[in-house]
Amino acid sequence: MKVAVGADHAGFDLKGEIVKWLESEGHLVNDIGAHEIDPKDDYPDFAIAVAGVIQSGGAERGIIICGSGVGASIAANKVQGIRACLCHDTYSARQGVEHDDMNVICIGGRIIGIELAKAVLDAFLDATFLPEPRFQRRLDKIIQVEQNGLP
């Protein structure tokens, strides 16, 4: 799978481990950065860059890592077509894709370690959207608001 990955300084170390692991699992990784530690960098820059790659079709899924994952999630969700969520457990990571067609996962580099991150990302990357009528109906409502604003 083509995966775009980005992190600010707070997610930098975990991103390095995740990129190596993803590549060893056979994924095609687009490492958006950061490529060096800069304590003055800002998570929105990396979140928006990853979201842009997903939006343009350059990758199927995105992974964004900041300190808590919260800011990255907020920033990524501002980009049209992005459905990003903060997930630190396998159930949410899988269910977010299956029920909500989540295409970007956000994790906190200061919250979880590499082994839990691998399990969470496995669940996220192995899941597919289940086109059941109730899930599609809900997704259509989200897309409608995104495209046209509030009803």
Residues annotated as part of the active site: 66, 99
SS3 34: coil
**Which strands, in side-by-side order, build the sheet including 2-7?**
28-33, 2-7, 61-66, 104-108, 84-86
Q: How many beta carbons lie within 10 A of that of residue 24, not counting itself?
A: 8
Buried/exposed code over 123-133 (b: 16+ C-beta within 10 A; e: otherwise): bbbebebeeee
What DSSP letter does each residue of 57-96 carry, written as one string? Answer: TS-SEEEEEESSSHHHHHHHTTSTT--EEE--SHHHHHHH
